[in-house]
């Protein structure tokens, strides 16, 4: 499975730890940066990962900033992206089961790396349940189409 990952300066150490962890588990990682500790603008990196998810270059995306909030907002501006900020595994599980999330975001200043790894594991191994949840996800897509 191919995973795109992107981050701002606040999340560089976290990104490196998560990348190494997921590579060790056999995931193929595409790193969209930043790889610099210099202050930068999180929407730039969120958009890069989101575009890769939307055009099928990668299967899922992971976006990390200080809170996970700003970068998730940017990702969700790309058509077809459902990016959910998760600070614990339950939300990560439900974001896949019910929302068919295709991107995970979290905050490097909010959670530690071990919790982040559990969240990634849950997100990447949980399937969408479909059924009535597909109808609701379709309505979200319709809203996107109207705007």
Interacting residue ranges for ligand RB5, rule: CB under 6 A: 8, 10, 42, 65-67, 69-70
Tokens (6 digits) for 111:
């959670």
Kindly list the distances between the CA atom of residue 46 and the CA atoms of 74, 111, 128, in Å, as whole numbers in the listed order.
Answer: 6, 19, 23
Kindly list the distances between the CA atom of residue 81 and the CA atoms of 33, 40, 52, 101, 144, in Å, as whole numbers in the listed order.
Answer: 19, 23, 10, 8, 10
| Residue 84 annotated as catalytic | no
Of 75, 83, 84, 98, catalytic: 98
CB 69, min distance to ligand RB5, A: 5
User: Between residues 45 and 100, which has the closer beta carbon with respect to ligand RB5?
Assistant: 45
User: Between residues 112 and 130, which has the closer beta carbon with respect to ligand RB5?
Assistant: 112
Closest CA to 5 of 56, 67, 53, 66: 53
Of 65, 75, 84, 120, catalytic: 65
CB 112, min distance to ligand RB5, A: 16
| Residue 98 annotated as catalytic | yes
Distance CA 121, CA 55 (A): 23
CB 83, min distance to ligand RB5, A: 13
Q: Among all residues, which ones are annotated catalytic?
A: 65, 98
């Amino acid at each position: 499975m191919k995973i795109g990952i992107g981050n701002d300066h606040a999340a560089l150490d976290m990104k490196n730890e998560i990348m190494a962890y997921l590579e060790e588990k056999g995931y193929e990682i595409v790193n969209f940066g930043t790889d610099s500790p210099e202050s930068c603008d999180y929407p730039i990196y969120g958009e890069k990962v989101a575009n890769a998810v939307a055009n099928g270059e990668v299967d899922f995306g992971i976006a990390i900033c200080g809170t996970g909030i700003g970068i998730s907002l940017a990702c969700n501006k790309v058509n077809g992206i459902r990016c959910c900020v998760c600070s614990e595994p339950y939300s990560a599980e439900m974001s896949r089961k019910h929302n068919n999330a295709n991107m995970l975001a979290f905050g490097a200043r909010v959670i530690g790396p071990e919790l982040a790894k559990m969240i990634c594991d849950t997100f990447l191994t949980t399937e969408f349940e479909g059924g009535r949840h597909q109808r609701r996800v379709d309505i979200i897509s319709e809203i996107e189409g109207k705007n």
